[in-house]
Amino acid sequence: MDPSPKDLPLPLPLSEPALTGLLVLFFILHIVFVNVTVGGGLIALGYQFRALREPAYDQLARSICRIITVTKSLAVVLGVGPLLCINLLYTVPFYSANLLTGAVWILIIPLVTAAFLLLYLHKFSWDRLAQHRGLHITILAAAMAILLFIPLIFLTNINLMLFPEKWRDIHGFFDALMLANVLPRWLHFMLASVSASGLLLAWWTSRPGFSIPGLATTDLRRQGYAIALATSGLQFIAGPLVLMTLPSVGLNLRLHLALILGIVFALPALYWMWREIDAPSALPGPGRRFWWIVASLGLTVLFMATARHLYRDEALALHQARFAIARDAYAERSALARAGGELPPLGPAEPGAVPPISQASSSAGAIAAPTDRGEAVFKLKCRACHVPSKRLVGPPLQEVARIYAGNPEGIAAWVLKPGRKRTEYPPMAPVKLPPDDLKAVAEYVLRVGGSATAAAAPPPVRP
Amino acid sequence: MDFPLFHLAYFGDRTLIAVIAILHVLINHAFAVGFIPLVVVLERQAAARGDAAGDALAKRFMGVAFVLTTTIGALTGVGIWLSTALINPEAIGSLLRVFFWAWFTEWLVFISEVALILAYYLTWDQWTGPRKAAHIRLGWTLAAFSWITMAIIVAILGFMLTPGSWASERGLFSGLLNPTYLPQLAFRTPLALAMAGCVGLALSVLFTERDSDLRHRTVRFCGLWTLVFLPFAAAGLVWWWASVPADLAQNLATALATQQAAAQSYVVLWTLLGLAGIVVAVAALAVIAPRRIGLTLAVIALVATCLELGWFERTREFLRKPWSVPGYLYANRFRAEDYPMLQRDGILAHAAWSPVRQVTAGNRLVAGRTVFDLACATCHTVDGLNGMRAILRTMYGPPPWDADAIAAYIATIHDSRFYMPPFPGNDTEREALGAWLAALGSPLTVAGKAP
């Protein structure tokens, strides 16, 4: 059987439940800003298109892009927290998924950088490109295309890490992307993003002092609610799709309970949104039901994020236990080896396993068993790079003996502080030896090198 | 051993981290840590003079910093993490466990820093008149937070070079208060400020009218700024070098250059000194004769400081070889404490993702390749950077190469090449590795290329 991957042997800095709590909390913070950035970008893009026919909407799109400038940066920094926690809690699954999709995973960095630069270009060129609307919209569309792809990379990883039993069949990102659950989750996420941004729009456009010439703010507020309601409604298709495509390993009662609670809290929000569209409150501000909607959807998000975590916990429970057992067994065996103890066999020897070949059987002028000090030192300190009649890392002893004939002190001096002579060789590193050993090894080199020359043996050639 | 293989066949694994990390450090030092104080001082001077053009210029300076730090800067910061997790998950995973609270604090500071950058730049035109003073205070707060983010991370960098008493105590603070920490901070802070002066020079030339008063004033100020901080950076560097333990310092020649050119590493040293000289000269010229500073000179000075810092990072990273976490984890991702076991059991037997468990007569080359992937591939490629074919050619001349000689060398290589960890596996594995490496020179063994 293949050995199991092992968790790291250092203790966690916080208890597991505490880390889990932080993970869910930080994740929600992060994802809200991501939602608003991605959804807001899409809505802004929509309004920019609309502005081609109804120019007043241009100002609205611009105003939304101002929000994104802030939220996109906060989304990135807030992502560090959950990343920190997931690294600790799910070291083996998370890193394994990252490595299996490595090339695309690391593309997150240049891609998000490019998307952000495009967003700035779009923002800061608004007036300059006023006569080139098509180009200006294209810049935003390019940024959004990237920002739609990035969640797919994350979701692919987060999904892949749940299923260690599938890891061996995954060869790169696209294999992992094709696992059943990824695309439905992406859809679910996108709808949530637009829906959150619709609510934000309703609030943003009904702040005191907000006005755009040619647009009625009550109408904008209504549009915001309409967007939120439509996308939230679609979640009743996307949500079950996610659930149906989830492998059953992680499903359990607690998870279903969390999901049901999430749905229950979403229902009143939908009703209130519909009321706000149908009968907008006459008061200034986002409508008297706004904060109720936010609160109930907030609870929905909390329960959904919890359900997401419960699934992960269940799907990985046995694997995590296996990684911990493997870690402990490995540490125990390692300690035994350090103490010099007898190690029990790891498994049956495979047919044809080769025993280690001893170093003495090497070719190129084998040297007989050490009889004197010089030879012993040579074998230990020089033999890896020098042999009598052949180039290894260093020149053959023959050549050395010719250069230093009758001059063992020269060799000793070289060994302590080698110069740089042969550019086709790497440099020799100094070897620290006591004077006696130096003298002995130098004499040995001269002796062996000299006799090899005398024998004038042709250098042995290996097949 | 516990993770699937991720390997960049041409650029090499270390290059990925190096590119991302150096980009991050350059932006962080030159456009945030050092630059924000400079912008705030410019803003304050302009406010004191009631100089609208000066204020607008300071804002444009900040605009550049804003765009760069919130895009490339922020994302390469995350990128260092993602890339190290790909290349050496054991190292980053261990560091995260040891330094969780440092990283956590770092995160909070980082959030504040980003929020402050957004606030400082985006409120520039709103907080005017009586609120200008508050805006300037906001700038100083931002400057403080950027410095703190750097100060925390440098503690971890210092730890990776010299873990101090951590090896025995394994606590957060014994790790943080490591011997090279303060010296490194004392070097980076003034260097970042000096670099920012060079950025300021280039931007002044870009953003102001030739021969205008504003240009001369700003150029002179940025030149002076650089001149003031550069000597402190030099002193910090000397202090840092003095605090690097001798056994690591012996890697210096190779760290500065490459092993093949180690004997010529003094050339690099003189080049770096020369570059510093250029920066001083340009900065002095900016003070004495600001009208003589054009974009070319400013950019030369900026590039020179970037090269200095880049080279420092490379050298610092190299000095800690063969370790990732000194005394604990080698750069080849094996823990030192497990060596006695691994050298008996072999590494293949414990490697979750290896296609083979043991070396057999039939799988020698596959086993050799796998051993290479596990034990050498974090630092070597086959044909790319630090590639084995080229290395073997330098060592042994043109093929055929002798498998036994290579295997024998691998057994002792760490004695003469201090930057390489000892071979972690057992003798059979070493011989399989030798056979595979020798096969790289043979036209008959296509297995050399695959899998």
Do B274 and B408 belong to one domain?
A: no
Residue A126 has pLDDT above 90, yes or no: yes
Name the average pLDDT for chain B.
90
CA distances from A113 to A308, A418, B167, B395 (A): 28, 49, 38, 42
Query: What is the domain-level CATH number for residue B180?
Result: 1.20.1630
The per-residue pLDDT for range B414-438, each reduced to its tens digit, is 888 888 999 999 999 999 999 999 9
Q: Which amino acid is at A296?
A: S
**Residue B388 domain boundaries:** 338-439
Residue A362 has pLDDT above 70, yes or no: no
Which segment of A37-46, B191-200, B236-245 scores lowest on mean pLDDT? B236-245
The per-residue pLDDT for range B385-417, each reduced to its tens digit, is 899 999 999 888 888 888 988 998 999 888 888
User: What's the DSSP call for residue B73?
Assistant: I
Peptide bond into A388 cis (omega under 30): no
Nearest CA in chain B to A339: B340
Confidence at residue A360, expressed as pLDDT on a 0 to 100 scale: 35
Mutate to test the interface with B, among A7, A66, A88, A95 (most CBs of B within 10 A): A95
Of B308, B330, B352, which one is at a domain's C-terminal end? Answer: B330
**Chain A CB contacts of B396 below 8 Å:** 391-393
Confidence at residue A461, expressed as pLDDT on a 0 to 100 scale: 46
Of B305, B330, B355, which one is at a domain's C-terminal end? Answer: B330
Residue B451 has pLDDT above 50, yes or no: no
Contacts of residue B94, Cβ cutoff 8 Å, sequence gap at least 6: A8, A10, B325, B328, B329
Element (H, E) at A396: none
For residue A281, the distance in angstroms to the closest alpha carbon of chain B comes to 32
In a domain, B273, yes or no: yes
The per-residue pLDDT for range B332-372, each reduced to its tens digit, is 999 999 999 999 999 999 999 999 999 998 899 999 999 99
The answer to whether A370 and A376 have CB atoms below 8 angstroms apart is yes
B111/A74 touch (CB, cutoff 8 Å), yes or no = yes
Q: How confident is the model at residue A363 (pLDDT cuts 50, 70, 90)?
A: very low
pLDDT > 90 fraction of chain B, expressed in percent and rounded: 65
Mean pLDDT value of segment A29-50: 97
Do B203 and B54 belong to one domain?
A: yes
Confidence at residue B170, expressed as pLDDT on a 0 to 100 scale: 67
The per-residue pLDDT for range A370-421, each reduced to its tens digit, is 568 899 889 888 888 898 888 888 899 999 999 998 899 999 999 988 888 8
Mean pLDDT value of segment A356-383: 62
Do B371 and B284 belong to one domain?
A: no
Do B363 and B392 belong to one domain?
A: yes
Exposed, middle or buried, B265 (CB in 10 Å: 0-12/13-18/19+)? middle
CA distances from B72 to A41, B22, B24, B79 (A): 20, 12, 7, 10
Mean pLDDT value of segment A233-252: 91
Residue A292 has pLDDT above 70, yes or no: yes
B97/A112 touch (CB, cutoff 8 Å), yes or no = no
d(CA A17, CA A25): 12
Nearest CA in chain B to A351: B360
For residue A91, the distance in angstroms to the closest alpha carbon of chain B comes to 7
Whose CA is closest to B350, among A403, A1, A48? A1
Q: How confident is the model at residue A286 (pLDDT cuts 50, 70, 90)?
A: confident
Confidence at residue A364, expressed as pLDDT on a 0 to 100 scale: 39
In a domain, B81, yes or no: yes
The per-residue pLDDT for range A438-451, each reduced to its tens digit, is 999 999 999 998 88
A426/B104 touch (CB, cutoff 8 Å), yes or no = no
Confidence at residue B13, expressed as pLDDT on a 0 to 100 scale: 85
Do B273 and B307 belong to one domain?
A: yes
The answer to whether A196 and A227 have CB atoms below 8 angstroms apart is no
In a domain, B307, yes or no: yes
Q: Which of A357, A426, A429 sits opposite B395 (nearest CB)?
A: A426
For residue A7, the distance in angstroms to the closest alpha carbon of chain B comes to 8
Which segment of A187-196, B9-18, B204-213 scores lowest on mean pLDDT? B9-18
The per-residue pLDDT for range B110-138, each reduced to its tens digit, is 999 999 999 999 999 999 989 999 999 99
Q: Domain A373-456 carries which CATH code?
A: 1.10.760.10
d(CA B386, CA A60): 55
In a domain, B234, yes or no: yes
Mean pLDDT value of segment A65-72: 94
**Chain A CB contacts of B126 below 8 Å:** none
Of B288, B304, B330, which one is at a domain's C-terminal end? Answer: B330
Number of independent structural domains in chain B: 2
CA distances from A171 to A100, A101, A104, A448, B24 (A): 7, 8, 12, 54, 30
Mean pLDDT value of segment A7-11: 94
Nearest CA in chain B to A353: B360
Residue A194 has pLDDT above 90, yes or no: yes
In a domain, B53, yes or no: yes
Confidence at residue B221, expressed as pLDDT on a 0 to 100 scale: 97
Which residue ranges make up each domain of chain A?
A: 16-322, 373-456
In a domain, B382, yes or no: yes
Do B244 and B173 belong to one domain?
A: yes
In a domain, B109, yes or no: yes
Mean pLDDT value of segment A232-260: 92
Confidence at residue A451, expressed as pLDDT on a 0 to 100 scale: 85
For residue A417, the distance in angstroms to the closest alpha carbon of chain B comes to 12
Confidence at residue B337, expressed as pLDDT on a 0 to 100 scale: 94
Name the average pLDDT for chain A.
89
Residue B261 has pLDDT above 80, yes or no: no
pLDDT > 70 fraction of chain B, expressed in percent and rounded: 94
Do B314 and B357 belong to one domain?
A: no
Q: How confident is the model at residue B188 (pLDDT cuts 50, 70, 90)?
A: very high
Do B156 and B302 belong to one domain?
A: yes
The per-residue pLDDT for range B289-333, each reduced to its tens digit, is 999 999 999 999 999 999 999 988 888 888 888 888 888 999 999
d(CA B92, CA B83): 10
Do B130 and B273 belong to one domain?
A: yes
pLDDT > 90 fraction of chain A, expressed in percent and rounded: 71
Please count the residues of chain A.
Answer: 463
- φ and ψ of B381, to 5 deg: -115, 180
The per-residue pLDDT for range A137-164, each reduced to its tens digit, is 999 999 999 999 999 999 999 999 999 9
d(CA B236, CA B195): 15
Do B213 and B87 belong to one domain?
A: yes
In a domain, B4, yes or no: no
d(CA A454, CA B216): 79
Confidence at residue A367, expressed as pLDDT on a 0 to 100 scale: 45
Mean pLDDT value of segment B43-60: 95
**Which 3 state secondary structure label does DSSP give A215?**
strand
Do B90 and B131 belong to one domain?
A: yes
Do B300 and B387 belong to one domain?
A: no
